[in-house]
Structure 1
Amino acid sequence: MPPTDNQGSFLNRISIRRNQVVYENEVEDLEQFQKHVADRLSELFNQPEDAPANDPPETPLSISWFRKLLDIFLCVEAEFKAVVIMGRDANNFTKSPLDRLIPEHLDRSLKALDICTAINHGIDLLLHWQKLAQIAVDSLQRKTIGEGHVKRAKKALNTLLSSIHIDDKENHQHTKSAAAPASSKDHTTIGNLKSLSYSFAKSWSASKQIQAMSSNLAAPRGGEPTGLVVPVYLMSSILVFVMWAMVAAIPCQERTGLGAHLQLSKQFTWAQPMIGLQDKIGEDWKKKEKKGRSGLLEETQMLEKLAKSLVEFAEGFKFPVEVEKAEEVAAQVAEMGEICRSMEEGLAALQMQVTELFHRIVRSRAEALDVLDQVNKIATPVPY
């Protein structure tokens, strides 16, 4: 998704005002930055009910919803650099508490890179599920359904459901108990899950990674100076929130207790919609965490529900199929086909955004490290 017009006009104002080098305008820039973030997040939280038919609102936790969330994050990240990093005297970052907050933010960014990698692997698994569902659709989307078609669909759907219900921690860590009794079909499923974690140690945990990112994320205290402190806290908060939300929705290695890892301050306007979204996602996670689900993504939930119903049909299949039952199955197959099309198109685009996010974080860290390098040179006395 390209940057929005709002972002472009905002960055233009930042550039003009930075050239004017007027303190009052810098304060206004920081306030406008916070307001813009609040407005974008509010749009995501309070979606309009009267959206045009050709541009319907995104269902929360759907692929299109996450694409919008990542678009917002990428825009906010660009604006953050404009108001906090670009053209600013490096001496600003030698003062407390920025001399602590900036390195902490860079450490969170480094951990976010691992999460982006895990999310990309998770999207690969979702695409595998989509292919299995498409096999069932192709088999059952016929005028006359025969026993061979039903068997092929049932095999694909059972593999899909096995993969969805396999416990994340047990299989990502490749425990002996999971692999020992597995049939050839289960070995295939476990092999697909293994692909998610091949670049991580067995002990790596998405949940612990989020916890580490948020453990020292504290809102500015009343006695602390204002200025750049709040924007740095804002950027860290939205970074942690986006990573947390993606881990909750998309299959990742080890997510036990994920719902309890995020604490956001209520004192800022931009934090209110994030807290609302966090509450909703957290409630959904706690409801489904004990059921072995592989994420809260809307399309995954719908695919699982339809797959269960079609497996029940396949297990009780008798030829010829009654007219009423045939119509019911045809409707379910059509719905699954639509989800498959949505996943195939949307997941490819989402994966590109996650990759863009990864590279953006790498570049931004490098730019910030250059600034800190200037700070270190300033702080180092010149030998005579």
Structure 2
Amino acid sequence: MPATDYQGSFLGRISIRRNQVMAMEGSHDQEVEDLELFQKHVGDRFNDLLASPTEDGNEPLLSIAWLRRLVDMFLCCEAEFKAVLLMGRDPCQISKPPLDRLVPEFLERVVKSLDICNAVSLGIESVRNFQKLAEIAVSALEHRPIGDGQIRRAKKALNSLITAMTVEDKDPSNTKSAERSWSFGRRSAAPNKERASGQFRSLSWSMAKGWSAAKQIHAMSSNLTAPRGAEASGLAMPVFIMSNAFVFVMWALVAAIPCQERNGLATHFPVPRQLPWAQPMIGLHEKIAEDWKKKEKKGSPGLLFEMQRLEKLGQSLIEFADSFQFPAEAERLQELKEQVEELADICGKMEEDLAPLQQQIREVFHRIVRSRTEILDVFEQAGKLSSSTV
């Protein structure tokens, strides 16, 4: 069943069940079944992502198309998580231990993810610039007959492309303003209601000079401890699952898309392997982490599949340009034609998928802002109910 289909079925099931008057002895069994179904859906979605790079060559791991599937999967999981946590539930249930501690910690991760969403959106703008430079080279190298003028124009664009990717990957702040407007106010120790229209403003197109994507991911992954004992069969588990989904998705986006200060991006993922839903998540993490270690060792410009292809083709075409002599041999021209066609194909896919990916990132931003506000509302209701019973 497609993700959106069983998401709709799952949400409908919870809505109907919690609006029915049920016998108390049956409600606990239904609750456990809902939690198990949520875990299964998360595991199934990550399994699909783990399988797709090998089964479908059109969506390699960390390609733009694959990242779009990742974000779509995350949005489905987030909708189901919110239903499990909030839909038709007594507010007092999530204001008691251990949720009175776990939910505020989860909301802190939500806040940190907002900065990452904006950093990724900014990184996508950089990738668009790389695409434009590659398109200049394609335009020049497709010209027939090809001469010294076209070669010089293409070489200049390709040199700019390789330099831009290297500079952007090492320190994007070198090419952008260091000023920014924060998307949220300072958090107090206890969860307080903050309206999306006020405290949560979309960031300006720049990040603070000292902001670090690697440190932000590290902060999100700290204090992640799996529930034990009776807590493992209650609402603490979906909070733990969704916290890990947040960390993984944001980590994968940062690894793929140029973001400010990625050096030292953590490659350890503290999820117990025995949890069924965790296996595909860990499998994906290990694949990406291995590539990241190679990337840091070689100093190549990031893990986005299309960027890696641009780098490889760009360097090869620069070598061709350096050794070009007019008239070129037929064999060399055929080799050039094949590489230019591949470069044009990559540019076409980037043109098609970058804007939708950026729109999905914005949707994630606004979705989690709304969800955070709704959870804070429930905390506020629980506080009022507690006060009225005293």
Which TM-score applies when normalising by structure 2? 0.87
In the other structure, the counterpart of 1:155 is 156
- What's the CA shift for 1:7? 1.4
Aligned residue for 2:228, secondary structure, equals coil
Residue aligned with 1:259, SS? coil
Alpha-carbon contact 2:169-2:302 (below 8 Å) kept: no
Matched, 1:315 2:303: no
In 2, Cα distance between equivalents of 1:334 and 1:345: 16
Identity of aligned residues (%): 57
> Which residue matches 1:144?
145
After superposition, the CA RMSD in angstroms is 2.3
The aligned amino acid for 1:376 is G
Structure 2 residue aligned with 1:41: 46
Q: In 1, distance between residues paired with 2:134 and 2:221? A: 37
Distance 1:382 1:23, change over 3 A: closer
Contact 1:137 1:333 in 2 (8 A): yes
- Length, aligned pairs only: 362
* Separation in structure 2 between the aligned mates of residue 290 and residue 350 of structure 1, nearest angstrom: 28
User: CA contact under 8 A between 2:15 and 2:88: conserved in structure 1?
Assistant: no
Task: Look up the match of 2:239.
Answer: 232
The Cα offsets for residues 182-233 of structure 1, whole Å up to 9 and x where unpaired, read as: xxxxxxxx45999999632211100000000001111112363631010010
The alpha-carbon deviation at position 379 of structure 1 amounts to 3.3
1:209 aligns with 2:210: no
Q: Distance in 2 between matches of 1:172 and 1:47?
A: 31
- Map of 1:91 onto structure 2: 92
Tell me how far apart the structure 1 counterparts of residues 385 and 177 of structure 2 sit (CA, whole Å). Answer: 52
Are the counterparts in 2 of residues 7 and 75 from structure 1 also a CA contact under 8 Å? Answer: yes
The change in CA–CA distance for 1:134 and 1:193 in structure 2 (over 3 A counts) is farther
CA distance in 2, matches of 1:79, 1:40: 12
Q: Deviation at 1:168?
A: 4.1
- SS of aligned partner of 1:360: helix
* 2:83 alignment partner in structure 1: 82
The one of 23, 27, 32 equivalent to 1:27 is 32
**Corresponding residue number in structure 2 for 1:106:** 107
Structure 1: runs of 5+ lacking an equivalent: 175-189
Equivalent residue for 2:374?
A: 367
* CA–CA distance in structure 2, aligned partners of residues 48 and 204 of structure 1: 32
2:220 equivalent to 1:246: no
**TM-score normalised by L of structure 1:** 0.89
Quick one: distance in 1 between partners of 2:293 and 2:126?
Answer: 23
Equivalent positions of 1:225-304 (< 5 A) are: 226-304=233-311
| CA–CA distance in structure 2, aligned partners of residues 224 and 168 of structure 1 | 42
- Amino acid of the structure 1 residue aligned with 2:50: F
Residue aligning to 1:15:
15
The alignment partner of 1:59 has SS state of: coil
Residue 173 of structure 1: how far off its partner (Å): 4.8
8 Å Cα contact 1:259/1:286 also seen in 2: no
Q: Which residue of 2 aligns with 1:179?
A: none
- Cα distance change, pair 11–206 in 1 and its aligned pair in 2 (3 A): same
Query: CA 1:241 to 1:82, structure 2 compared with 1: closer, same or farther past 3 Å?
Result: same
Q: 1:192 to 1:371 in 2, by over 3 A?
A: closer
Alpha carbons 2:121, 2:361 under 8 Å: kept: yes
* 8 Å contact kept, 1:250–1:294: no
- Residues 312-338 of structure 1, C-alpha deviations (whole Å, 9 max, x = no match): 111111111100000000000000000
SS in 2 for 1:258: coil
| Alpha-carbon separation, structure 1, partners of 2:285 and 2:163 | 29
Moved more, 282-291 or 149-158: 282-291
Distance, in Å, in 2 between the alignment partners of 1:16 and 1:192 is: 51
| Alpha carbons 2:169, 2:260 under 8 Å: kept | yes
Whether the 8 Å CA contact 1:166–1:292 is kept in 2: the answer is no
